[in-house]
Every structure is written in structure tokens, then in C-alpha cells.
Structure 1
Amino acid sequence: MQSKEELEKARERVIEAISQNMNLYGVTPSVGRLWGLLYFQNQPMTLDEMKNELGMSKTSMSTSVRNLMDLHMVDKVWKKGNRKDLYVAEEDWYQTFIDFFTIKWRNGVQINVSAIEKSLRELNLLLEKPELTEDFINEIKSDIEKLHQSLEYYGWLNRLVDSFETHEIFDFIPKKPNDHTK
């Protein structure tokens, strides 16, 4: 019996670390704990089983599972003879990171690029006004140049995200030292 307790203690330590680490990426610790729980299960779990294990409300559990599914960290699975929805954690840590990273960064890039493009259009229209002083025109042109430089950065960031999605990143940083296979 003590061996089972030691196993649970070891798992709990990792689950706690995962939940705190995921908090760094904007995922609540409770959602991180849920993923950790599912990760250590050797079989799919229902919402009720997860709710009982973590002591969360069914609504909160459902929202947390949906959040993890949106991040591609949990999948819904089907099991013959079971009418309830079952869920499992994505166990490939590389793919989990890639999915999480690309979803978050693509969204961030899109928000920033849209704001920059809108500001560029407005600044270019502003340059057409005849009453501007030369100093003000130079200030606007300086901002336009800075915004173009930021667009170059976001282009680079999109290519970085692409390298994760295509797994080309592993050509540069292999999963294991001296491993140059994908």
C-alpha cells in the first residue's frame, strides 16, 4: 500500500509543477492540474471522473476540458459500450508544445499585425494633410519606419512558428542531442 502512496506522491509533484509552469503561458493552474491528471491516467476519463478526482464543479471541469481541447492538449475519444464523452491527454510533449506555442503566437501575431497595418494606413493618410510642419512629417515618417521594422519582426516570427508546425525546427534543434531525425 505504501508503494501506491509513493507513486501518487511522485505523480502529484509533477502535476503541481506542470500546473504552475502552465500558468506562465496563461493557462490557469486548475487547467494545468487537469492536464497533469489526464497525462498520468492509463485510460480515458469522463467529466464526472475528472470532477471527482479534482473536486471541481462539472461546469468548471467542462470549461477546462474545452480549453485544453482548443489548445490540442486533450482529445475526445470513443470507447465501445460507453455513452459518455471520454478524454485523454496528448502525451507527445513536443507536439503539445508545438500546438500550444503556435496557437498562442499566431493569435498574438495576427492581433499586432492588424493594429500595425491599420496605423500605417492612418499615418500615410495623415502625411497627405497640407498643414503639417516638417518636424511633424519627420515624426510621422519615423513612426512609419518603426512600424515597417516591426512587420519584418512579425514576418520572422511567423516563419519561426511555421518551422514548429512543419517540424523543421528539429533540423536545427534535435529532440535528442546528436539526433538529426524528425
Structure 2
Amino acid sequence: MSDAAPLTATEQELIEEFGNIYESYGLKRLQGLIVGLLLTQDDPASLDDMVALLNHSKGPISIAVRRLADIGLVRKVNGPINRRNYYAAHPDIFYNNFKFNMATVRKNRALAERLLNRIAAEGRAHQSATADNLEHMLRFYQLMESFYQDFSDEWAKVKAERRAAANGEA
């Protein structure tokens, strides 16, 4: 039986909304439900806790948790029973999600560059709708990368300020 406390209506809404968000981005709804759940928990949750609180089977939850751990959204932590696996939201969950999305931006920029170079080598760079669209794609993702880098730099400052405030520093 689960040791986790029952969920409040607000916690249930947060969990459902994360499931909806993940699903709307073409990801697994269950992954979103797990992320939402872990954001509501004061203590780490075991797979059994997740089964009970989310009313899903252990196998799919285990698979989803592994995938979420692979991309840095959740992490395995120690819990009260040694032979169980416990999980918590990663302390940098939102930034790690941002970095995951940034990897897609970089892949898209690299794809545009690679294909533009191929079109140029074929000698048809100035007469191709494909080349024009790839140039548009390249410029878009280059700009997005620069915004992401600026954001990353700013987030590091905000995070340091929050850490200092939590430690009572000026």
C-alpha cells in the first residue's frame, strides 16, 4: 500500500495539466502526469506510490520514469525502504527541460546548414525554393539559439540570487 498522502484538488489539477501539456507537445501523457505528481510531493515517491496516486500500471510508470530520468527531469533518490526505488523532481527540472528543447533547436539549425551546403554544392542554391526555405529556417534557429544563450546566462544569475537569498546572503 502507498505511503503517500492523498492528493488535494489543486495537486490533482496540477498533475492533470502537466499530463495535458506533455500530450499537447506530442510527448507521453504519463510522463507529464509523473512530472506533475513529483512536483506535488514533499518526500520522494516510490514506483508503488506513483501506481496508487496515478492509478496506472507499474510497468508503464517504470518506463516513463526511466525516460524522464534520462533527460534530467526526475532523479532517483534514497527513500525510507532500501529495496525500493524512489524518485523526486530534479532540482533543475525546468532548466533541464529547457536544455532538452535547446538540443532540438540546435539539431534543426544543423540540419538547415547541412542541407544548404549540399544544395550549394549541387550548384542550385539561388534557384531553389528548398534553399530559400532552408535559409529562412537557418536564420530562425540561429536567432533562437542566441536568445536561448542569453536566457541561459540570465537564468544563471537569477538562480544564484535565489540561492543567496535562501542562504541569508545579501
Normalising to structure 1: TM-score of the pair? 0.68
1:150 match: secondary structure: helix
1:15 Cα deviation (Å)? 1.9
Determine the structure 2 residue equivalent to 1:178: none
Shift of 1:65: 0.6
Judged with a 3 Å threshold, the aligned counterparts in structure 2 of structure 1 residues 143 and 78 are, in CA distance, closer, same or farther, namely same
Aligned length: 157
Contact 2:69/2:75, CA 8 A, preserved across alignment: yes
Q: CA separation in 1, counterparts of 2:33 and 2:125?
A: 54
Distance 1:51 1:155, change over 3 A: same
The verdict on how the C-alpha distance between 1:102 and 1:55 changes in structure 2, with shifts beyond 3 A counting, is: same
Aligned to 2:100: 103
1:143 Cα deviation after fit: 5.2
1:151 to 138, 144, 153: 138
Question: Counterpart amino acid of 1:40?
Answer: T
The residue identity in structure 2 corresponding to 1:122 is: R
Contact 1:31–1:68 (CA under 8 A) maintained in structure 2: yes
CA contact (8 A) 2:125 2:131 kept: no
Verify: 1:164 aligned to 2:151, yes or no.
yes
Question: Cα distance, 1:88 vs. partner?
Answer: 0.8
| Change in CA separation of 1:66 and 1:164 when aligned onto 2, cut-off 3 Å | farther
TM-score of the aligned structures, taking structure 2 as reference length:
0.72
Counterpart secondary structure, 1:154:
helix
CA 1:156–1:137 in structure 2 vs 1: closer, same or farther (change >3 Å)?
Answer: closer
Aligned partner of 2:127 in structure 1 is 139
Give the number of the structure whose alpha-carbon radius of gyration is greater: 1
Question: Aligned in 2, Cα 1:79/1:14: closer, same or farther, shift over 3 Å?
Answer: closer
8 Å CA contact 1:102–1:164 kept in 2: the answer is no
| Structure 1: runs of 5+ lacking an equivalent | 128-135, 176-180
Q: What residue number does 1:83 align with?
A: 83
Percent of residue pairs bearing the same amino acid type? 25
Shift of 1:99: 1.7
Give the match for residue 21 of structure 2. Answer: 21
Separation of aligned partners in 2, 1:18 and 1:144: 38
Change (3 A) 1:76 1:38: same
